[in-house]
Chain A
Amino acid sequence: MVLSLGSICLVCSALLGIANNVTAEPIAQATLAKINDKISYVVPSYDNNPSDNVTMVEVDGTEYKVYLASMSDKVVGYAIEVAPTGFGGPISMIVGFDAENGNIYNTAVISHSETPGLGDKIASNEQGSFRDQFIEMNPASNKLSVRKDGGDIDAITAATISSRAFTVGVSTAYKVYLTLIGNGDADVVSGASKK
């Protein structure tokens, strides 16, 4: 009795081990492709592999992942992953900064649990959508909070909380960016310090 159940478990585990080995590589590639896709969306053109140039920056006790994008060994952009708390759960997003002028190059949402039709407009890539206003924005001269809170960001109608959360994400990413370049980023690629 125990023998039959035990042998079934063994056979199944063995089968799963094989399946796991076969699919491990494609799964890793799929996950990589997904993040690379988002990174290429938020930073200027690059020729390296940002997933290989990752640095962790700590701000206010939380560690953030920063991907360095570079062209011909010169850093062109920083893609920073943040996860602010939205309306329905954490919003996993990525903010890209242009290394040349310190502006926000673009933003992207990786995953979210916001309300469909309302809060989920933060993930919309359409023309004139919420995230458009962040493109090429100078974070130093704009107040990164929604108009309701005295800032310069237009929130999505009837989705203030999601908009606020996303904006918090952007301002957190900016803090990370400042911390990174302020410390003189001993950047992995060119070995040159930016001080």
Chain B
Amino acid sequence: MEYILIIISAVFVNNILLSQFLGICPFLGVSKKVSTAVGMSAAVAFVMGMATCVTYLLQNYLLVPLEIEFLQTVSFILVIASLVQMVEIILKKISPSLYQALGIFLPLITTNCAVLGVALMVVQKQFSFGGAAHMLNLGQSVVFAVASAIGFGLAITLFAGIREQLELSKVPKVFKGVPIALIVAGIMAMAFMGFSGIV
């Protein structure tokens, strides 16, 4: 039951992009076409899930017992960077077309604040999904991470759809490009605010 609450919370209520502001750079950069948006989200979901799993174990079985928590930021980002490198190599082998389509954005997943952000959140924040506030365990953390990535994918895909339409509409010259994208994002964020209080 709690897993369902985690998923609803991460995808809608506390959408990683529209209410936590993590992952904005690729949001503005990759969301021009729906197909690239979907591909990007899948890659991010995979990296996020695996990264959170590894960093969770790293934190609880290495950093805390050895009292070297101050190496958290450094070790976490190294884990993420290595995972992205791995995904790149694997993707090149299995699906060269997707690899080509994602292009520069694949290595950029490393600097995607959402990945590091979620990894840090599960080891730092206390959550209260319909119960007392507590830290998440490994299973819940991974579900949270993947659900957050789904929320990211949802927002990015919806956004890409709107942007494809925007290309064909009459937008005042100064607004073209990033400004109008931001305003649309603001309206989307307003819409997602309607989900608050569900969980």
Residues of A within 8 A of B (CB): 9, 12-13, 16-17, 19-20, 62, 83, 85, 87-90, 92, 115, 161
Q: How far is the CB of A166 from chain B (nearest CB, A)?
A: 14
Contact of A85 among B68, B70, B78, B131 (CB under 8 A): B131
Known contacts A13-B71, A16-B70; is-contact A87 B196 (Cβ 8 Å): yes
Contact of B126 among A12, A20, A90, A161 (CB under 8 A): A90
Tell whether, in the assembled complex, residue A83 and residue B70 are in contact, meaning their CB atoms are under 8 Å apart: no
A selection of 10 A-B contacts at a CB cut-off of 8 Å is A13-B74, A16-B71, A16-B74, A17-B70, A83-B126, A85-B128, A85-B132, A88-B196, A90-B127, A90-B128
Collect the chain A residues with CB atoms within 8 Å of residue B126's CB.
83, 90
- Roughly how many angstroms separate A92 CA and B74 CA in the complex, as a whole number? 29
- Roughly how many angstroms separate A20 CA and B74 CA in the complex, as a whole number? 13
Known contacts A83-B126, A85-B128, A161-B197; is-contact A90 B70 (Cβ 8 Å): no
Tell whether, in the assembled complex, residue A89 and residue B197 are in contact, meaning their CB atoms are under 8 Å apart: no
Q: How far is the CB of A59 from chain B (nearest CB, A)?
A: 11
- Roughly how many angstroms separate A85 CA and B127 CA in the complex, as a whole number? 9
Does residue B133 face the partner (Cβ distance < 8 Å to A)? yes
Produce 1/0 per residue, B33-70, CB < 8 A to A.
00000000000000000000000000000000000101
Does residue B172 face the partner (Cβ distance < 8 Å to A)? no
Q: How far is the CB of B144 from chain A (nearest CB, A)?
A: 14
Produce 1/0 per residue, B60-88, CB < 8 A to A.
00000000101100100010000000000
Tell whether, in the assembled complex, residue B196 and residue A90 are in contact, meaning their CB atoms are under 8 Å apart: no
- Roughly how many angstroms separate A88 CA and B197 CA in the complex, as a whole number? 7
Collect the chain A residues with CB atoms within 8 Å of residue B78's CB.
9
Tell whether, in the assembled complex, residue B70 and residue A19 are in contact, meaning their CB atoms are under 8 Å apart: yes
* Residues of chain B at interface, number, CB under 8 A: 14
Q: How far is the CB of B135 from chain A (nearest CB, A)?
A: 11
Residues of B within 8 A of A (CB): 68, 70-71, 74, 78, 126-128, 130-133, 196-197
* Chain B residue at minimal CB-CB distance from A12: B74
Collect the chain A residues with CB atoms within 8 Å of residue B68's CB.
17
* Chain B residue at minimal CB-CB distance from A85: B128
Tell whether, in the assembled complex, residue A20 and residue B70 are in contact, meaning their CB atoms are under 8 Å apart: yes
* Chain B residue at minimal CB-CB distance from A16: B70
Tell whether, in the assembled complex, residue A89 and residue B71 are in contact, meaning their CB atoms are under 8 Å apart: no
Q: How far is the CB of B66 from chain A (nearest CB, A)?
A: 11
Tell whether, in the assembled complex, residue A83 and residue B132 are in contact, meaning their CB atoms are under 8 Å apart: yes
* Chain A residue at minimal CB-CB distance from B133: A90
Collect the chain B residues with CB atoms within 8 Å of residue A88's CB.
196
Collect the chain B residues with CB atoms within 8 Å of residue A83's CB.
126, 128, 132-133
Collect the chain A residues with CB atoms within 8 Å of residue B127's CB.
89-90
Collect the chain A residues with CB atoms within 8 Å of residue B131's CB.
85
Q: How far is the CB of B101 from chain A (nearest CB, A)?
A: 30
- Roughly how many angstroms separate A16 CA and B63 CA in the complex, as a whole number? 14
Tell whether, in the assembled complex, residue B133 and residue A85 are in contact, meaning their CB atoms are under 8 Å apart: yes
Find the residue from B71, B78, B127, B132 having the highest chain A CB count within 10 A.
Answer: B132
* Chain A residue at minimal CB-CB distance from B193: A115
Q: How far is the CB of B90 from chain A (nearest CB, A)?
A: 21
Collect the chain A residues with CB atoms within 8 Å of residue B74's CB.
9, 12-13, 16
Contact of B130 among A13, A85, A87 (CB under 8 A): A85
Collect the chain B residues with CB atoms within 8 Å of residue A16's CB.
70-71, 74
- Roughly how many angstroms separate A87 CA and B133 CA in the complex, as a whole number? 13
Collect the chain B residues with CB atoms within 8 Å of residue A115's CB.
196
- Roughly how many angstroms separate A17 CA and B70 CA in the complex, as a whole number? 8
Q: How far is the CB of B79 from chain A (nearest CB, A)?
A: 13
**Given A9-B78, A89-B127, A92-B133, 12 additional A-B pairs, CB 8 A:** A9-B74, A13-B74, A16-B74, A19-B70, A85-B128, A85-B131, A85-B132, A87-B197, A88-B196, A89-B128, A90-B133, A161-B197
